[in-house]
Structure 1
Amino acid sequence: MRVFEKYEKVEITDFAAEGKCIYKSPDGVIFVEGNVAPGDIVDLEVIGKKKKFKEAVVRKIHSQSALRTQPYCSHHDTCGGCRWQHIDYGHQLRFKRQQVVDHFERIGKLQGVHVNDILPADEKQFYRNKLEFTFSNNRWLTREEISSGLDFNRNALGFHVPKRFDKIFTVEKCYLQPDPSNEIRNGLYAYINSKGYRNYDVRKNVGTLRNLIIRTANTGDVMVIAQFGENEEDVVKDVMEYLKSSFPIISSLHYIINTKGNDSYQDQEVIHYAGEPVIRETMEDLTFLVGPKSFYQTNSDQAYRLFSVARDYAGLTGNEYVYDLYTGTGTIANFVARQARKVVGVEYVEAAVVDARKNSALNGITNTSFFAGDMKDLMNEAFLAQHGRPDVIITDPPRAGMDLPVVETILKAAPDRIVYVSCNSSTQARDIALMSEAYEVTKVQPVDMFPNTHHVENVALLVKK
């Protein structure tokens, strides 16, 4: 019989990475999962042991921390999304800034770097412009439902229960995305239940209704993409006609037939069903076209603040050659182009480069060039000679950061300034450390893109020594 180690009436000590908290016990650090806060007095049960730490869950809260506030969402205890709803927003901001400081000092070994106070979000709710919901035939049941012994509808349309790929709980109201997101999702959920359509079974890879993507732009445009796990033509047509007729506010309607083992759809054909093929986002006087596969920052308001910081850090006078790495659909490149002599955008994905060129043309921007390919191979001496050696490099890589060959390519290009935009300050600090012999960090600005979560965006300015 397995015996679990327990700690009773102990005080949660501090926040930790990835939204966890810690209890510094006499025999080592314990990472604590769940909706806890520093200052909580709790009973813990250890669920895992590593060499240098233990992992635990809370079994009982005896008294609550002064850092707490009342969660506003009924799904807070189940959902893995806004896990910090129970933490006062001011304390969230302080920890996020400290997280950046810790990463720069501990991972980057960058001592004495000043990190500015984080730029807060004006909107703490309904700030996302994109959400993905999952259909399932295996709805997560509450303890009350299980103990009742009754037979419940097992269809679900909502989010994954944390760490359970096969369990989905139905969302009644999500506070992340503005109207008409909730109205569309709830309407479709009621409709497919009334029709008796088969929801997707992720374990068996069968079922028709699979995934629902809703994008809401700051222009008022709305895009909906329905993903089907089987090509049942009558069901597909009925569902799409329901969405089209019931929600005329949808300006761009699409569907995907995806029979493979995961929900990713970048490699799938997106079929345009009704309305416009794209939606539009605006930033200052610029307009950006967003297609079904386009990447666009999911918090439009804070993206503007983030890019404004990056543009300010670039220190452009109108004479600079700027290289925008991981340019995606060219959002940053086009945003800074009017303050630069020339902007060269480099991106792995060919389809994104096509969108970037369209966005330049749409906005009458003529001093940008976009190229698809592996950066370490593309940005050779011949390329730099042809397009101009960069005075400034702006890089905005994915969470994993930059590969070492890309870092080495940047060092060979030797720009005067590097503006590093990151959604993961730990990998950002690692990459900056690799450039620390040649560059000095002079400015660091965190931006809160995702309130009520542990995530933080960060902009760092590196100046050549």
Structure 2
Amino acid sequence: MKKIPADKKFLQNIQVIDIAEEGKGVGKSDDLVIFIDKAVPGDIVDVELIRRKKKFYEGKIQNLVKPSEHRTEPFCEHFGVCGGCKWQHLTYDAQLQFKQKSVSDALQRLGKVDVSHMESILGSAESRYYRNKLEYTFSDKRWLTDGDMRNGETMEMNALGYHIPGRFDKILDIDHCYLQADPSNEIRNKVREYALKAGISFYNLKNHEGALRNLIIRTSSTGELMVIVVFAYADEEQIGGMMKFIATEFKSINSLLYIVNHKKNDTIFDQDIHTYCGADHIFENMDGLKFKIGPKSFYQTNSAQAFELYKIARDFADFKGDELVYDLYTGAGTIANFIAGKVKNVIGVEYVPTAIEDAKINSEINGIKNTSFFAGDMKDILNEDFISAHGKPDVVITDPPRAGMHPDVVKRLLEIEAEKIVYVSCNAATQARDIELLQAKYVVGRIKPVDMFPHTQHVENVVLLTIKV
């Protein structure tokens, strides 16, 4: 990183022309590309350059000369410090516009896809309190904001909230979060208050010391509530006291669980779950189907919009009723069970064995008899023997993680030659990369982005591919 000369540190009247994934506006001055913190496309700004990288500069707004029509006042007091909701300063209509553009650009540039027939993005009916799961972190290293430091008082250094971007050991103490509906905020704030009064230590992420580590809250469209407290080095009295407090204070909790995690990472998938009271699960409902949600279960975090996403995938497939469908990266079998009533058979494949067990249970509790689920690495399990044993699919639905599909999986899909592939993706760039390869035998049909995560850069996209005749 090269030092910026003092006489070139300030630029005036920079037009902001785009927005980057991390929420920074993109401006140009002659041949310079500048990523400007909290700038909005359409702004005209005076910029202070703060970093020089190889191909671009980073800067901050020194003076807002003319605000964009897309600019709006962020509604959260934590905006700009918290690592989430980085597009809050954009109107929601503008967010949808730029998400549509990001998908279109990726498909054209990386996938060589004709997007002239691309459908309009489906916005989320709710742009606040839309998440059904949040995870908070306890830390004895609270991030001090400018307001905290101006206060000048001795600050409480324990915090319960979110990681500061780029500072794994620093946690922003959260007062009110607009991502999850009540009683999420009340639970978090009262848990923190109890811990402070009881003198229970908060975790130190560098030294791996302390009693309280994480707080996970899951809600569902059925009104059910799950709370998981993750302890590190807590004694039985501290665990018992905290769990009794939560159970007494929040009688609406359906599933109250705890974990003791001594590992150096926060993942709970390899940890034992202890049920303090209630059930070890809650239920989600979608289109008349019940889905059992345990502490380790994967379920789309925007329940209402997940329903819309899956309806679009089902509509793109245009099932006639006699199809054999492969549901790749099936997770807990949500899509597989969702479409089972419209097809002859569904075969779901997923890497995580516990997710496959959830998928089987979800079929069982809904009385679904035409699904089969298999656990294994997709590139290994989807071989000739597997196809021979289970049949060639008429339709493949694939919903891979952000990294997209392994090249061997793409190669196998080209060999299978299913009549249709419905590709659901949370990363248009890797989706475009895979589609470019699939176009050797497939034609891109319908394309529709879906906004699952308002006020962030993230966007889902559904693409229909049909085998060439």
Query: Given the two structures, how large is their TM-score scaled by the length of structure 2?
Result: 0.96
Is 2:389 aligned against 1:386?
Answer: yes
Q: Which residue of 2 aligns with 1:404?
A: 407
- From 13, 25, 30, give the equivalent of 1:26: 30
- CA-atom RMSD in angstroms: 1.5
Aligned residues: 464
- From 7, 18, 31, give the equivalent of 1:14: 18
Q: Which residue of 1 aligns with 2:61?
A: 58
Structure 2 distance, partners of 1:419, 1:319, is 17
Contact between 1:215 and 1:223, CA under 8 Å: does it hold in 2?
A: yes
Q: Which residue of 1 aligns with 2:157?
A: 154
Relative to structure 1, is the Cα distance of residues 239 and 60 closer, same or farther in structure 2, using a 3 angstrom cutoff? farther
Q: Which residue of 1 aligns with 2:76?
A: 73
How far off its partner does 1:19 sit? Answer: 2.9
What aligned pairs does 1:180-195 form with structure 2 within 5 A after superposition?
180-195=183-198
Contact between 1:113 and 1:442, CA under 8 Å: does it hold in 2?
A: no
How far off its partner does 1:77 sit? Answer: 2.5
Gaps of 5+ in 2: none
Contact between 1:213 and 1:226, CA under 8 Å: does it hold in 2?
A: yes
Relative to structure 1, is the Cα distance of residues 102 and 384 closer, same or farther in structure 2, using a 3 angstrom cutoff? same
Is 2:236 aligned against 1:230?
Answer: no
Structure 2 distance, partners of 1:94, 1:426, is 17
Q: Which residue of 1 aligns with 2:180?
A: 177
Structure 2 distance, partners of 1:162, 1:8, is 28
- 2:20 maps to amino acid: A
Contact between 2:210 and 2:234, CA under 8 Å: does it hold in 1?
A: no
Gaps of 5+ in 1: none
Deviations 1:201-227 (A, max 9, x none): 111110111110000100011001111
Is 2:300 aligned against 1:294?
Answer: no
Please state whether the residue corresponding to 1:13 is helix, strand or coil: strand
How far off its partner does 1:41 sit? Answer: 2.8
Identity %: 51
How far off its partner does 1:185 sit? Answer: 0.6
How far off its partner does 1:156 sit? Answer: 0.6
Q: Which residue of 2 aligns with 1:107?
A: 110
Contact between 1:97 and 1:115, CA under 8 Å: does it hold in 2?
A: no
Contact between 1:15 and 1:22, CA under 8 Å: does it hold in 2?
A: yes
How far off its partner does 1:271 sit? Answer: 1.5
Which segment drifts farther, 249-258 or 41-50? 41-50
Structure 2 distance, partners of 1:171, 1:345, is 39
Relative to structure 1, is the Cα distance of residues 112 and 171 closer, same or farther in structure 2, using a 3 angstrom cutoff? closer
Which segment drifts farther, 186-195 or 321-330? 186-195
Deviations 1:346-391 (A, max 9, x none): 0111111111000000000000000001222212222212211100
Structure 2 distance, partners of 1:250, 1:6, is 54
Deviations 1:177-222 (A, max 9, x none): 0111011111111111111111011111101111100001000110
What aligned pairs does 1:66-465 form with structure 2 within 5 A after superposition?
66-465=69-468
Is 2:77 aligned against 1:41?
Answer: no
Structure 2 distance, partners of 1:315, 1:457, is 20
Relative to structure 1, is the Cα distance of residues 60 and 159 closer, same or farther in structure 2, using a 3 angstrom cutoff? farther
Query: Given the two structures, how large is their TM-score scaled by the length of structure 1?
Result: 0.97
Relative to structure 1, is the Cα distance of residues 2 and 53 closer, same or farther in structure 2, using a 3 angstrom cutoff? closer
Contact between 2:107 and 2:115, CA under 8 Å: does it hold in 1?
A: no
Structure 2 distance, partners of 1:78, 1:436, is 42
Which segment drifts farther, 210-219 or 257-266? 257-266
